[in-house]
Chains A and B, each alone.
Chain A
């Protein structure tokens, strides 16, 4: 019997662990970059097409994280609960993207809209999943790492508040303003919780998929903060907006992260069978 490492190497060469999907994800990222740089079609159809792409990207996250949740027995284990909650968050974000697309096509965009309800509910699910993850595997932080996390968290909160919340305070407070303030608040919480994951999963094979997932959350939060600012300044257009690019790449990062998790556990299972 060979060593575990040798057997892992043999398992990795098996067709089970194919990499075609990685090329597909890379192609999606290249396409999105090309789309926002070269603006290939007229604004009217482009706006609808962009909406479809966002629905498709958020929709793709659902089966990926659903499959992961299934591998861990859905709600019967902690990782299953985390992945199920993430999948539910993506269901809500997909519903938000779909309702935003319908509102765009019908030219009925209001503030707030039904899409905001789905987006904010999705945020709550994602925050819940990240909180569960923080509690799931106990890894003690060194005091220096803890101080770094606190300092970064305060810095991010100050930056987000000064960009997105402070200008809102000068407006007449209505339902639209309150809903709008929900986004930077949730973005800040997501970034702070995502930082915990980066500091927690620094080693081991799970570090990579978690890092990609965190990247997805950071891109989503950054795109959102940028969108809020551009919207307040009246600079946001519903097509080819540069602030939509990090949101699209964020979704692609979520799909990649889920795929990497699935591949990791499949590889390990194949390796265990070979032993």
Chain B
């Protein structure tokens, strides 16, 4: 069962944490030791610049990590560690897949506002509290239903296209489309930086060409139409 999500900045500072309600002293102790362990682990992992989803299995808990590199206005790397905690890994609960899903939802939350704040290395932790409602809904819902029915809200047209491309191209191909596209997990990709308008247009044109050549005319256009319609809608699992 999923216990919580933690987002840690370089240096081990937690910028966002959501833990399921604590009911017993034992659970409280368990969660506080988890947070301490994950902070030191995140620092170690970030200094090594490890890639991919990492998993740590403990006697009564399992957590998966993913380091995300964003770029600030000065084009400097800003690293964050996203960690998902569970007390056990249930059958049908693919933790890396859940983590990448939550990462996309977090980064795209409020039309990509969190992504912008993270790039600014904002220390205003209250900003991210708006994600608590989403997490509550997520934890109340069945994962199979969420992954099937609730697609992450697009932060922009381009990011929306990247989210949908997972159903048209292997992730290895998606990340070759632009050097700023990075892999989040088994299937999602994220743009680490704002790219100039002209470059963004070229990238979208190229995705359109690739989809047209692979699936025929009209597929890209209907994809973009769908994203435009979804841009203003919420992605809460309660929807």
Contacts and interface: CB of A to CB of B under 8 A. Distances in A.
B172 A205 contact: no
B217 to A, nearest CB: 7
Given A204-B212, A264-B214, A272 B166 contact: no
Interface string B127-141: 000000000000000
B172 A71 contact: yes
A73 B171 contact: yes
A77 B213 contact: no
Given A4-B209, A76-B94, A269-B176, A205 B167 contact: no
B36 interface: no
A130 to B, nearest CB: 17
Contact of A80 (B173, B176, B187, B219): B187
Contacts of B168: 79, 137
A268 B209 CA distance: 11
A204 B216 contact: yes
Contact of B166 (A73, A202, A205): A73
A268 B169 contact: yes
A273 B169 CA distance: 14
A138 interface: yes
A78 interface: yes
Nearest to B172: A269
- Give the interface size bracket for A toward B: 20 to 34
Contacts of A136: 167
B214 A268 contact: yes
Contacts of A72: 166, 170, 187
Contacts of A168: none
Contacts, number: 72
A72 B173 CA distance: 10
Nearest to A203: B216
A268 B214 CA distance: 9
Nearest to A270: B176
A204 B213 contact: yes
Contact of B215 (A71, A137, A275): A137
B98 to A, nearest CB: 10
B96 to A, nearest CB: 9
B206 interface: yes
A77 B187 contact: yes
Nearest to B205: A4
B221 interface: no
A225 B187 CA distance: 40
A268 B167 contact: no
B222 interface: yes
Interface of A: 4, 71-80, 136-138, 201-207, 264-265, 268-269, 272-273, 275
Given A206-B214, A268-B214, 8 more contacts: A71-B170, A73-B166, A77-B166, A203-B216, A204-B214, A204-B219, A207-B216, A269-B170
